Structure 1
């Protein structure tokens, strides 16, 4: 990316005028003088930096790809200067272990994207708040009530019901091309909303009504959160001006989303606070939150994060697995044979999933090639520490490039091929202990929803494979399916996956 294109990409009003003003020039001089010099002699290596913008011109709208290319030249742990922000990126399992395990204590703080910098909400955040007692209690509550073995067993019938609705909808659309992401997202969202509120908030059949508006609003929040171009995050002195309108825009979207379920919270609060209430009547997650004294703001923040994290990344994984299976019919045939061998009933249920190791291997292989969060969520150093003999100064932003790790020929044989067989002969898993495969992260910031997410992914895929033959519209050759990705909070396909589902 050259400097002219770099300035255009920021989409700022009259950039040449801004650059020509005396205050801006004063700001630039101040930024140069304020660049940290301490510990700079032992920083991880990286490419030469331009004045003021540093390496910004070398990081494009697919930062997982551009930083992987830089790492190939400079090593497994690199440092970049993005504006006046120091960034360190790990691109190998060894470097990832140093960040997520060895120095987890010092590198577990979060960098909060501009979209989520809402002062009234951050203290109640499971994802973005500090690792303090409030955060620990919140995480424990979610793990106990949402993601424990007991909770997952209690949710199994509900999950089967929602997937049943998905299958009924697809049966009613025989011969039509279906946007897979839309159907999977809605199914996952309604599963979560039923666990949280005992109510579906989106209708699979509603293409233009209120529920579709809720879906669109949530996607806009996700889009804002994944913005790569954000001038304030590169030059913190400008952050308060919100030059791209990201913070202001997201706050409006949050208020709009909250309105879809606030009435439910108020109704449940009245019941929980009544003299006749007993804990045995608590059937939803929001009941438990109200019993624990959560305010509406606290509930709004947590519920929104659960919806965003529990639908966005999980949907992304399902769609990438399906994309690979469409392209590799021989792999699909092996899953089909495994199902015929292991499952004797007409309908898939939760108990069948453990009998499908080849399907599980396909999911791992797709997550290796297409990690749902390719750079993981950003970490920040709370204090100066050392990784791989390099110094990581305090307040450095730290990323782990899972996309680069998944395609590293030093880690994987034939890394660009989709080959589930590799996971049939290895015990590598994605539970945070094997640093070659970390789609859900590792350490204290590891995704707490892993058990629930994996259960949903396996169940949806098994059901769709068991029930339907998948065909690309218009006779498109599966080997020519576009597999380009689009960077965001979750890595999605650049073009939607549309399929015709034919009953078997």
Structure 2
């Protein structure tokens, strides 16, 4: 109710301002892409509903795969086909490489130092190179195999304990903790999801507060004229929380510098070495901003009618950590387990492959993946039908461009609806069915080359966390399926069916968490 009252009051203010300044408006370009007729002031916001990815996919069937809308004051281009996505993300990647920055991310000037939001240029290339060299390179992944294996073994041990007591496991929550600790050990050589360590508690609390703020629809994102006033106080509170998390990073940096040597060879050590060699290009603030890119959610959304739901005491399960490395992994694992358990044929086939290749009750290793083609197909099919980020991270064009014969105005926000592309019946046979077999004879991969399947994006803005996130997802899924059978929890699924409803938020998650009981193998 409070939001509605504020919204109505601000609409009146905006209408007044719009009238006063209408004389200064630029002439609208001709030959715009097709789209629904916007209403005064709110534009097409009323058409989004609580599932914008689905609503925009339906609108695209009417107006076409290149469609333009008005979301408040923000002109928004929606791309809904693989062909159009290729034009935007490959053929005209330079024109579409900038980012649309949510107002919350301007807190503490984070967006000005973030590799996610920096404009493409020398500074962005430097930060991206450092990120790739320190955590996402092939060499780094190879060097950190022992961390991945250790944390996945801990996940299996947790499930074994639940199996002995007959308790259910919240798959998303357990996978989140595992992914979080894999990456926090890669970065800091310590667990940040450990509820018993003070640093873990502090980190969790700060992220919890950030998740609450980031889950709120922010009027400023749709009506930039209100930016100066920050009417909901979101940027003010985010500035406070960002400051708190910078303080946590500062403690970690000072502790490591005080040691005098860099023997752990984790991401923090590597960044500090680079900082010593190039202090003008990469200072401690840049290190903290890079960690913030790594440790906090992508604040990517169109509009959200309600706040994110706290899953018990684990509110920060809800979204993406470590730039598509942590919660995109836990969300994807939850969807993969859901689909496999709903499809007995798939479950039997993947378990048979695992038993033949690595033997029952063993942990999947990176070296096993090339010998597990069906497991890889299950992951691809999961990411096709349940992409972690249905719109990727919104882009923005700095100058007017021509796209498929249409004129797209300057400052247009660009959304690539990969959820719609993955379910396009013109591209995929039985597009709504979960069929991993479709990839057995296919050369399509996830690395941004095949625009029918781009859950991690494409072009120069391809997610740098793709190799790690994809690797961890395969290893966790294979290990859980190879070590247990799984039964539904009667308390959470009394009718023994799995709820498949989606909840749109910072990332696309199950509306109801998957809670299943691990059963020892016979």
TM-score, length of structure 2 as denominator length: 0.87
Distance 2:115 2:38 in 1: 36
CA deviation vs aligned residue, 1:423-459 (integer Å, no higher than 9, x gap): 1121111110100000000011110111111110001
Instruction: For residue 282 of structure 1, report the CA deviation from its aligned partner.
Output: 5.2
Instruction: For residue 161 of structure 1, report the CA deviation from its aligned partner.
Output: 0.6
Contact 2:156-2:480 within 8 A present in 1 as well: yes
TM-aligned CA distance change 1:428 to 1:361, over 3 Å:
same
TM alignment of 1:75-94, pairs within 5 A: 75-94=64-83
CA deviation vs aligned residue, 1:232-279 (integer Å, no higher than 9, x gap): 1111111222223222232233233344443221111223xx4xx4x6
Instruction: For residue 123 of structure 1, report the CA deviation from its aligned partner.
Output: 2.7
* Aligned twin of 1:131: 120
* Aligned twin of 2:435: 419
Contact 2:191-2:200 within 8 A present in 1 as well: no
* Aligned twin of 1:364: 380
* Aligned twin of 1:355: 371
Contact 2:336-2:378 within 8 A present in 1 as well: yes
Matching of residue 112 in structure 1 with residue 101 in structure 2? yes
Distance 1:42 1:119 in 2: 39
Match of 2:234 among 246, 250, 261: 246
Instruction: For residue 345 of structure 1, report the CA deviation from its aligned partner.
Output: 6.9
Match of 1:306 among 287, 294, 306: 294
TM-aligned CA distance change 1:77 to 1:241, over 3 Å:
same
Contact 1:113-1:225 within 8 A present in 2 as well: no
Contact 1:222-1:489 within 8 A present in 2 as well: no
Contact 2:108-2:239 within 8 A present in 1 as well: no
Contact 1:223-1:489 within 8 A present in 2 as well: no
Distance 2:3 2:149 in 1: 46
Say which SS state the counterpart of residue 429 (structure 1) adopts.
coil
Matching of residue 397 in structure 1 with residue 387 in structure 2? no
* Aligned twin of 1:190: 181
CA deviation vs aligned residue, 1:152-187 (integer Å, no higher than 9, x gap): 110001110111111112212221112111111111
Structure 2 unmatched ranges of 5 or more:
276-281, 296-320
TM-aligned CA distance change 1:468 to 1:346, over 3 Å:
closer
Match of 2:452 among 436, 458, 466: 436
Say which SS state the counterpart of residue 292 (structure 1) adopts.
helix
Contact 2:136-2:465 within 8 A present in 1 as well: yes
Contact 2:353-2:372 within 8 A present in 1 as well: yes
Contact 2:99-2:117 within 8 A present in 1 as well: yes
Contact 1:226-1:487 within 8 A present in 2 as well: no
TM alignment of 1:324-339, pairs within 5 A: 324-339=339-354
Matching of residue 143 in structure 1 with residue 135 in structure 2? no
Instruction: For residue 329 of structure 1, report the CA deviation from its aligned partner.
Output: 1.8
Instruction: For residue 14 of structure 1, report the CA deviation from its aligned partner.
Output: 5.0
Match of 1:448 among 464, 471, 476: 464
TM-aligned CA distance change 1:368 to 1:489, over 3 Å:
same
Match of 1:288 among 255, 258, 270: 270
Contact 2:456-2:463 within 8 A present in 1 as well: yes
Distance 1:363 1:270 in 2: 43
Moved more, 186-195 or 255-264: 255-264
Distance 1:401 1:324 in 2: 22
Instruction: For residue 230 of structure 1, report the CA deviation from its aligned partner.
Output: 2.1
Distance 2:429 2:442 in 1: 13
* Aligned twin of 1:499: 516
Moved more, 24-33 or 184-193: 24-33
Contact 2:188-2:268 within 8 A present in 1 as well: yes
Cα RMSD over matched residues? 2.3
Matching of residue 51 in structure 1 with residue 40 in structure 2? yes
Contact 1:116-1:225 within 8 A present in 2 as well: no
* Aligned twin of 1:320: 335
Instruction: For residue 13 of structure 1, report the CA deviation from its aligned partner.
Output: 4.2
Instruction: For residue 36 of structure 1, report the CA deviation from its aligned partner.
Output: 4.3
Contact 1:224-1:246 within 8 A present in 2 as well: yes
Instruction: For residue 74 of structure 1, report the CA deviation from its aligned partner.
Output: 0.4
TM-score, length of structure 1 as denominator length: 0.90
* Aligned twin of 1:27: 17
Distance 2:450 2:212 in 1: 30
Contact 1:402-1:438 within 8 A present in 2 as well: yes
Matching of residue 11 in structure 1 with residue 27 in structure 2? no
Distance 2:374 2:433 in 1: 16
Structure 1 unmatched ranges of 5 or more:
1-7
Distance 1:18 1:52 in 2: 11
Instruction: For residue 332 of structure 1, report the CA deviation from its aligned partner.
Output: 0.8
Contact 1:225-1:488 within 8 A present in 2 as well: no
Distance 2:149 2:448 in 1: 28
TM-aligned CA distance change 1:224 to 1:92, over 3 Å:
farther
Distance 1:95 1:28 in 2: 33
Distance 1:122 1:19 in 2: 28
Say which SS state the counterpart of residue 383 (structure 2) adopts.
helix
